[in-house]
Amino acid sequence: MGVRAPATAAGELIERLELKSGTVLNGQSKAIEDGNLRWELAPGEEMLIPVDWIERVQIQPEPIVTPEVPVQPPATVPIPEPWIYQLPLAKEIVDWYSQLGGAAVTWTRRIQVGGTFADGNTQTDLLDVVTELERNTPIQSRQVDAGGQWARNGSKQTANRWFINSNFDWPMEEGSQWITFLTSKNEYNELQNLDYRGTVSTGIGHRFLFEPKRRLITRFGPAYTLEIFHSPYNLRNTPDIFGELEVRWPILARTSLEQKMRVQPSMLNFELVRVFSTTGLLMDLDEKERWKLRLGFQYTYNSQPNNGRLPSDYLSTLSLVYIRK
Protein backbone atom coordinates (compact mmCIF):
# COMPACT_ATOMS: atom_id res chain seq x y z
CA MET A 1 0.00 0.00 0.00
CA GLY A 2 1.61 3.30 -1.07
CA VAL A 3 1.50 6.74 0.52
CA ARG A 4 -1.50 8.78 -0.62
CA ALA A 5 -1.56 12.55 -0.51
CA PRO A 6 -4.72 14.33 0.67
CA ALA A 7 -6.83 15.98 -2.03
CA THR A 8 -8.71 19.25 -2.23
CA ALA A 9 -12.38 19.49 -3.10
CA ALA A 10 -11.41 19.55 -6.75
CA GLY A 11 -9.30 16.41 -6.33
CA GLU A 12 -5.98 18.30 -6.55
CA LEU A 13 -3.01 17.39 -4.37
CA ILE A 14 -2.10 19.65 -1.45
CA GLU A 15 1.54 20.77 -1.42
CA ARG A 16 3.71 22.30 1.31
CA LEU A 17 6.04 25.17 0.39
CA GLU A 18 8.89 26.03 2.79
CA LEU A 19 10.76 29.32 2.30
CA LYS A 20 14.32 29.92 3.45
CA SER A 21 12.99 32.60 5.82
CA GLY A 22 11.06 29.89 7.73
CA THR A 23 7.63 30.75 6.30
CA VAL A 24 5.44 27.73 5.41
CA LEU A 25 2.60 27.91 2.85
CA ASN A 26 0.05 25.20 1.93
CA GLY A 27 -1.44 25.19 -1.54
CA GLN A 28 -0.48 24.06 -5.02
CA SER A 29 2.30 24.95 -7.47
CA LYS A 30 1.04 26.00 -10.89
CA ALA A 31 4.01 27.00 -13.05
CA ILE A 32 7.46 28.62 -13.08
CA GLU A 33 7.54 31.96 -14.92
CA ASP A 34 10.70 34.09 -15.30
CA GLY A 35 12.36 32.62 -12.22
CA ASN A 36 9.19 32.85 -10.09
CA LEU A 37 6.93 30.06 -8.86
CA ARG A 38 3.23 30.71 -9.34
CA TRP A 39 1.66 29.40 -6.13
CA GLU A 40 -2.08 28.96 -5.50
CA LEU A 41 -3.00 29.48 -1.84
CA ALA A 42 -6.72 28.95 -2.49
CA PRO A 43 -8.95 28.85 -5.62
CA GLY A 44 -8.56 32.22 -7.28
CA GLU A 45 -5.81 33.39 -4.89
CA GLU A 46 -2.30 33.18 -6.41
CA MET A 47 1.09 34.77 -5.76
CA LEU A 48 4.52 34.81 -7.42
CA ILE A 49 7.46 33.67 -5.26
CA PRO A 50 11.13 33.96 -6.42
CA VAL A 51 12.63 30.49 -6.82
CA ASP A 52 15.74 31.57 -4.85
CA TRP A 53 13.56 32.09 -1.77
CA ILE A 54 12.34 28.46 -1.77
CA GLU A 55 13.86 25.86 0.52
CA ARG A 56 11.68 22.92 -0.63
CA VAL A 57 8.28 21.94 -2.01
CA GLN A 58 6.70 18.66 -0.96
CA ILE A 59 3.36 16.84 -1.04
CA GLN A 60 1.81 16.47 2.39
CA PRO A 61 1.24 12.77 3.06
CA GLU A 62 -1.47 11.27 5.24
CA PRO A 63 -0.27 9.13 8.14
CA ILE A 64 -0.18 5.41 7.31
CA VAL A 65 -1.27 2.94 9.96
CA THR A 66 0.49 -0.40 9.56
CA PRO A 67 0.10 -2.32 12.85
CA GLU A 68 1.32 -5.54 11.25
CA VAL A 69 4.72 -3.99 10.44
CA PRO A 70 5.65 -1.49 13.15
CA VAL A 71 8.04 1.22 12.01
CA GLN A 72 11.33 1.05 13.84
CA PRO A 73 12.86 4.40 14.78
CA PRO A 74 16.22 5.05 13.17
CA ALA A 75 19.23 4.24 15.27
CA THR A 76 20.72 7.22 17.06
CA VAL A 77 24.22 7.93 15.83
CA PRO A 78 26.25 10.33 17.96
CA ILE A 79 27.36 13.34 15.94
CA PRO A 80 30.75 14.81 16.87
CA GLU A 81 30.89 18.51 17.65
CA PRO A 82 32.21 20.72 14.82
CA TRP A 83 35.87 21.61 15.18
CA ILE A 84 34.89 25.28 15.19
CA TYR A 85 33.64 24.80 18.77
CA GLN A 86 37.28 24.67 19.88
CA LEU A 87 37.54 28.42 19.24
CA PRO A 88 36.89 30.76 22.21
CA LEU A 89 33.22 31.77 22.64
CA ALA A 90 32.06 29.77 19.59
CA LYS A 91 29.95 27.26 21.52
CA GLU A 92 28.71 29.97 23.89
CA ILE A 93 27.45 32.03 20.94
CA VAL A 94 25.45 29.09 19.54
CA ASP A 95 24.05 28.14 22.98
CA TRP A 96 22.98 31.72 23.67
CA TYR A 97 21.49 32.02 20.21
CA SER A 98 19.50 28.78 20.63
CA GLN A 99 17.91 30.10 23.82
CA LEU A 100 16.44 33.18 22.15
CA GLY A 101 12.69 33.44 21.70
CA GLY A 102 10.96 32.24 18.53
CA ALA A 103 10.58 35.70 17.02
CA ALA A 104 14.24 36.58 17.56
CA VAL A 105 15.43 33.30 16.05
CA THR A 106 13.20 33.85 13.01
CA TRP A 107 14.64 37.31 12.47
CA THR A 108 18.30 36.88 13.37
CA ARG A 109 20.56 36.44 10.36
CA ARG A 110 24.00 36.74 11.91
CA ILE A 111 26.03 37.51 15.01
CA GLN A 112 29.54 38.97 14.67
CA VAL A 113 32.09 39.23 17.48
CA GLY A 114 35.73 40.30 17.24
CA GLY A 115 38.34 41.85 19.45
CA THR A 116 41.91 42.24 20.65
CA PHE A 117 42.97 42.45 24.29
CA ALA A 118 46.64 42.96 25.23
CA ASP A 119 48.23 43.92 28.55
CA GLY A 120 51.81 44.42 29.74
CA ASN A 121 54.24 46.46 27.67
CA THR A 122 51.40 46.94 25.18
CA GLN A 123 47.98 47.92 26.48
CA THR A 124 45.45 47.66 23.68
CA ASP A 125 41.79 46.64 23.82
CA LEU A 126 39.37 46.42 20.90
CA LEU A 127 35.81 45.06 20.84
CA ASP A 128 33.71 44.79 17.66
CA VAL A 129 30.13 43.46 17.87
CA VAL A 130 27.35 43.43 15.26
CA THR A 131 23.95 41.74 15.12
CA GLU A 132 22.06 41.64 11.82
CA LEU A 133 18.34 40.92 11.72
CA GLU A 134 16.65 40.19 8.43
CA ARG A 135 13.32 38.74 7.33
CA ASN A 136 12.11 38.53 3.74
CA THR A 137 8.68 37.69 2.35
CA PRO A 138 7.32 37.94 -1.22
CA ILE A 139 5.92 41.40 -0.41
CA GLN A 140 8.44 42.90 2.03
CA SER A 141 12.12 42.87 3.01
CA ARG A 142 13.06 44.02 6.52
CA GLN A 143 16.58 44.60 7.87
CA VAL A 144 17.82 45.84 11.25
CA ASP A 145 21.55 46.13 12.05
CA ALA A 146 22.93 47.08 15.46
CA GLY A 147 26.41 47.09 16.94
CA GLY A 148 29.58 49.10 17.31
CA GLN A 149 33.24 49.29 18.18
CA TRP A 150 34.98 50.18 21.43
CA ALA A 151 38.79 50.49 21.69
CA ARG A 152 41.55 52.05 23.71
CA ASN A 153 45.35 52.17 23.60
CA GLY A 154 46.73 52.54 27.11
CA SER A 155 44.67 55.32 28.68
CA LYS A 156 43.68 56.84 25.32
CA GLN A 157 40.26 56.11 23.85
CA THR A 158 40.68 55.15 20.19
CA ALA A 159 37.14 54.08 19.28
CA ASN A 160 33.69 54.39 20.81
CA ARG A 161 31.05 54.14 18.10
CA TRP A 162 27.59 52.56 18.26
CA PHE A 163 24.82 52.39 15.69
CA ILE A 164 21.39 50.99 14.87
CA ASN A 165 20.08 51.03 11.29
CA SER A 166 16.82 49.79 9.81
CA ASN A 167 15.61 49.35 6.26
CA PHE A 168 12.29 48.27 4.70
CA ASP A 169 11.79 47.46 1.00
CA TRP A 170 8.52 46.87 -0.88
CA PRO A 171 8.26 45.81 -4.57
CA MET A 172 6.29 48.35 -6.59
CA GLU A 173 4.20 45.51 -8.01
CA GLU A 174 4.15 41.74 -7.85
CA GLY A 175 7.35 40.28 -9.32
CA SER A 176 8.87 43.72 -10.04
CA GLN A 177 12.56 44.50 -9.50
CA TRP A 178 11.69 48.12 -8.74
CA ILE A 179 11.12 48.86 -5.06
CA THR A 180 10.13 51.62 -2.68
CA PHE A 181 12.06 51.87 0.58
CA LEU A 182 12.05 53.49 4.00
CA THR A 183 15.32 53.66 5.96
CA SER A 184 16.61 55.05 9.25
CA LYS A 185 20.29 55.41 10.22
CA ASN A 186 21.29 56.29 13.81
CA GLU A 187 24.83 56.68 15.20
CA TYR A 188 26.88 57.81 18.21
CA ASN A 189 30.65 58.41 17.83
CA GLU A 190 32.67 59.83 20.72
CA LEU A 191 35.85 60.34 18.68
CA GLN A 192 33.98 62.57 16.22
CA ASN A 193 32.45 64.54 19.14
CA LEU A 194 29.15 63.23 17.79
CA ASP A 195 26.40 62.76 20.35
CA TYR A 196 23.85 61.75 17.73
CA ARG A 197 23.45 61.52 13.98
CA GLY A 198 20.10 60.42 12.59
CA THR A 199 19.03 60.13 8.96
CA VAL A 200 15.63 59.15 7.59
CA SER A 201 14.98 58.63 3.89
CA THR A 202 12.40 57.21 1.53
CA GLY A 203 12.42 56.80 -2.23
CA ILE A 204 12.78 54.20 -4.97
CA GLY A 205 15.34 51.51 -5.68
CA HIS A 206 16.12 48.63 -7.99
CA ARG A 207 16.98 45.02 -7.22
CA PHE A 208 19.33 43.95 -9.99
CA LEU A 209 19.88 40.72 -8.04
CA PHE A 210 18.15 39.52 -4.86
CA GLU A 211 19.36 36.04 -4.01
CA PRO A 212 20.62 34.46 -0.75
CA LYS A 213 24.28 34.61 -1.86
CA ARG A 214 24.17 37.28 -4.56
CA ARG A 215 22.65 40.68 -4.00
CA LEU A 216 22.90 43.96 -5.90
CA ILE A 217 20.48 46.68 -4.81
CA THR A 218 20.45 50.45 -5.26
CA ARG A 219 18.31 52.99 -3.39
CA PHE A 220 17.84 56.70 -4.08
CA GLY A 221 15.67 59.43 -2.60
CA PRO A 222 15.42 62.57 -0.45
CA ALA A 223 16.61 62.44 3.17
CA TYR A 224 16.74 64.50 6.33
CA THR A 225 19.75 64.41 8.71
CA LEU A 226 20.05 65.69 12.27
CA GLU A 227 23.48 65.98 13.94
CA ILE A 228 24.32 66.98 17.53
CA PHE A 229 28.00 67.64 18.36
CA HIS A 230 29.81 68.54 21.58
CA SER A 231 33.14 70.34 22.28
CA PRO A 232 31.94 72.71 20.90
CA TYR A 233 28.17 72.20 20.89
CA ASN A 234 26.63 72.31 17.45
CA LEU A 235 23.16 71.35 16.25
CA ARG A 236 22.90 70.83 12.51
CA ASN A 237 19.96 69.61 10.44
CA THR A 238 20.04 69.35 6.65
CA PRO A 239 17.87 68.08 3.83
CA ASP A 240 19.99 65.62 1.84
CA ILE A 241 20.06 63.44 -1.24
CA PHE A 242 20.33 59.77 -0.21
CA GLY A 243 22.07 57.20 -2.42
CA GLU A 244 22.90 53.66 -1.29
CA LEU A 245 24.51 50.58 -2.85
CA GLU A 246 24.21 47.12 -1.25
CA VAL A 247 26.27 44.21 -2.60
CA ARG A 248 26.81 40.56 -1.63
CA TRP A 249 28.87 38.53 -4.06
CA PRO A 250 30.86 35.26 -4.00
CA ILE A 251 34.36 35.84 -5.36
CA LEU A 252 36.01 32.46 -4.60
CA ALA A 253 34.79 28.99 -3.68
CA ARG A 254 34.87 29.76 0.06
CA THR A 255 35.11 33.55 0.08
CA SER A 256 32.48 36.22 -0.50
CA LEU A 257 32.42 40.01 -0.61
CA GLU A 258 29.87 42.26 1.05
CA GLN A 259 29.63 46.01 0.61
CA LYS A 260 27.29 48.70 1.88
CA MET A 261 27.97 52.26 0.80
CA ARG A 262 25.84 55.38 1.04
CA VAL A 263 26.48 58.95 -0.05
CA GLN A 264 24.56 61.92 1.37
CA PRO A 265 25.25 65.35 -0.16
CA SER A 266 23.31 68.25 1.34
CA MET A 267 20.69 69.92 -0.85
CA LEU A 268 21.33 73.38 0.61
CA ASN A 269 25.09 73.31 1.21
CA PHE A 270 26.99 71.83 -1.73
CA GLU A 271 30.21 71.70 0.32
CA LEU A 272 28.63 69.33 2.88
CA VAL A 273 28.94 65.68 1.85
CA ARG A 274 28.77 62.56 4.03
CA VAL A 275 30.03 59.14 2.92
CA PHE A 276 29.65 55.87 4.84
CA SER A 277 31.22 52.66 3.53
CA THR A 278 31.51 49.19 5.08
CA THR A 279 33.39 46.43 3.23
CA GLY A 280 33.88 42.85 4.35
CA LEU A 281 35.56 39.67 3.10
CA LEU A 282 33.95 36.55 4.58
CA MET A 283 35.85 33.24 4.53
CA ASP A 284 34.01 29.96 5.31
CA LEU A 285 35.33 27.99 8.28
CA ASP A 286 32.99 24.98 8.02
CA GLU A 287 31.20 22.99 5.30
CA LYS A 288 27.72 24.23 6.28
CA GLU A 289 28.86 27.85 5.80
CA ARG A 290 27.62 28.80 9.27
CA TRP A 291 30.95 29.98 10.69
CA LYS A 292 32.99 32.59 8.88
CA LEU A 293 36.04 34.74 9.45
CA ARG A 294 35.39 38.34 8.47
CA LEU A 295 38.03 40.89 7.53
CA GLY A 296 36.28 44.25 7.61
CA PHE A 297 37.13 47.80 6.58
CA GLN A 298 35.01 50.80 7.51
CA TYR A 299 35.34 54.32 6.09
CA THR A 300 33.46 57.43 7.25
CA TYR A 301 33.76 60.87 5.66
CA ASN A 302 32.18 64.16 6.72
CA SER A 303 33.38 67.11 4.66
CA GLN A 304 32.44 69.52 7.49
CA PRO A 305 33.27 67.79 10.80
CA ASN A 306 33.00 69.35 14.23
CA ASN A 307 35.77 71.84 15.08
CA GLY A 308 39.08 70.12 15.77
CA ARG A 309 38.04 66.83 14.18
CA LEU A 310 39.33 65.26 10.94
CA PRO A 311 36.89 64.63 8.06
CA SER A 312 37.86 60.96 7.53
CA ASP A 313 37.86 57.94 9.84
CA TYR A 314 39.16 54.44 9.02
CA LEU A 315 38.68 51.22 10.98
CA SER A 316 39.82 47.65 10.20
CA THR A 317 38.43 44.64 12.11
CA LEU A 318 38.87 40.87 12.22
CA SER A 319 35.79 39.06 13.53
CA LEU A 320 34.27 35.61 14.00
CA VAL A 321 30.81 35.43 12.43
CA TYR A 322 27.97 32.96 13.01
CA ILE A 323 25.32 33.03 10.25
CA ARG A 324 21.91 31.41 10.69
CA LYS A 325 20.49 31.95 7.18
Residue of 146, 140, 145, 89 lying closest to 114 (CA atoms)? 89
101 DSSP 8-state letter: -
Q: At 104, give phi and psi (nearest 5°).
A: -65, -40
Type of residue found at 317: T
DSSP 3-state of 85: helix
| pLDDT tens, position by position, 146-191 | 999 988 888 888 889 999 999 999 999 888 899 999 999 999 999 9
- Strand partners for 251: none
Instruction: Select the more confidently predicted residue: 114 or 171.
Output: 171
Looking at residue 89, its pLDDT comes to: 58
Looking at residue 14, its pLDDT comes to: 77
Could you count the other beta carbons within 10 Å of the beta carbon of residue 31?
Answer: 9
Looking at residue 61, its pLDDT comes to: 56
Domain 98-323 has CATH 2.40.230.20: yes
The percentage of the chain sitting over the pLDDT mark of 70, rounded to a whole number, equals 78
| pLDDT tens, position by position, 57-109 | 887 655 545 555 566 666 555 656 655 556 555 566 556 555 554 444 455 56
Domain 1-65 has CATH 2.30.30.100: yes
Looking at residue 88, its pLDDT comes to: 57
Residue of 319, 228, 314 lying closest to 275 (CA atoms)? 314
pTM, to two decimals: 0.66
d(CA 158, CA 313): 11
Domain boundaries, the chain: 1-65, 98-323
Residue of 40, 208, 54, 46 lying closest to 137 (CA atoms)? 54
| pLDDT tens, position by position, 121-138 | 666 788 888 888 888 777
80 DSSP 8-state letter: P
Looking at residue 17, its pLDDT comes to: 82
* Residues near 87 by beta carbon (within 8 Å), at least 6 away in sequence: 320
d(CA 205, CA 201): 12
Instruction: Select the more confidently predicted residue: 75 or 118.
Output: 118
